[in-house]
Structure 1
């Protein structure tokens, strides 16, 4: 089943269960997917939806941090609840060992010799780790291996 259909089914289930918080988050996610389709005039794939979810989780984490700094625990709780719902649709996270192995394979596959080839390595890695690991953390590990 495609991720979009699964999201729509989960939305229907949230409506039936009268779970307003979950329903609101799912509607927001489906609206972002629809917006991408309209803006770019394309049919989104599961990879596109994963990219949207990753972006939304990152936004929620940033917002939660700002609300924590402002001592607004009520808003932090809302953001964290949305993160929990969004992360249900992400694939399982990669372990550190798996990340290192993927990076080593990508360096070998791209024939990277130094820092000037970082873009080649990241291009190989991105489709493999999208939604399963933080790209910032992966970038730093790639820098260490190429340096």
Structure 2
């Protein structure tokens, strides 16, 4: 951290995480409740549906869990015909994950539910504040994504 940087306020991250977690994981509609999905499985479905063909390794990284746990969760989702694994055609050691037709429909229902809840939650904002919140989230993600892409293994060139 350089001298111009101030320490990060973890409270902000905690509050944003809590807010987003409530949007995604609370108030499942009855169709989703019947599936008895874990929070991790819901998160996996959301990630796979927005990043079709994501590798198992990258999925584990994004979820923040081990490859073994991701494999168990993916196996459960495959049994329910929500996702499917396929070996990468270029590198057979890489396994990519895709949503099935059922998985896409499930994602669409969940996405609509989150959008409705978010719209309801943010409906008290003025149009200007709503636009500002949206722009700030987009800007923050663009910055964080840029630096995430620069992250590299110790001893490895960041330009590789």
Higher helix share: 1
Q: What TM-score do the two structures reach when normalised by structure 2?
A: 0.21
Higher strand share: 2
**Bigger relative contact order, structure 1 or 2 (CA pairs below 8 A, ≥6 apart):** 1
TM-score under structure 1 normalisation? 0.22
